[in-house]
């Protein structure tokens, strides 16, 4: 196998490896709370486990009640029936559908 094909395969396989943060940081005003993250949890589930309130309604990605702003990191949303491309470009996420996929995750709560 030639080296250019091997390096392309290595890049593809490493891109498929899921990562997640050790902690999720929730920011509200000047306060920040660091919460241990359990793989597979949504942002809302992590917050609730720590006693942090995020307003929710449908918890299915349809209403937008849980819209928050991703300050650092990246998430994967299971569903998104509310946010526009502009919302997403501005860092808005549906906390009820968002699962962290990077080693850093900070969320601004409104």
Domains of the chain: 19-108 (3.10.20.30)
Over residues 23-48, the pLDDT tens digits come to 999 999 999 999 999 999 999 999 99
pTM (2 d.p.): 0.82
Instruction: Note whether 66 and 110 are within 8 A (CB).
Output: no
What is the distance between the terminal CA atoms of the chain, rounded to a whole angstrom? 53
Q: How confident is the model at residue 52 (pLDDT cuts 50, 70, 90)?
A: very high
- Parallel, antiparallel, or unpaired for β 23-28 and 98-108? parallel
What dihedral do alpha carbons 84, 86, 89, 90 form, nearest 10°?
A: -110
Mean pLDDT on 97-108: 97
């Amino acid at each position: 196998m030639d080296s250019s094909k091997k390096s392309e395969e290595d890049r593809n396989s490493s891109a498929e490896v899921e990562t997640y943060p050790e902690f999720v940081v929730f920011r509200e005003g000047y306060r920040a709370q660091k919460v241990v993250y359990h793989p597979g949890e949504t942002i809302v589930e992590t917050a609730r486990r720590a006693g942090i309130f995020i307003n929710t309604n449908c918890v299915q990605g349809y209403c937008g009640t849980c819209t928050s702003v991703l300050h650092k990191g990246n998430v994967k949303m299971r569903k998104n029936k509310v946010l526009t491309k502009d919302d997403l470009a501005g860092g808005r996420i549906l906390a009820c559908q968002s699962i962290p996929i990077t080693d850093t995750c900070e969320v601004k709560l409104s």
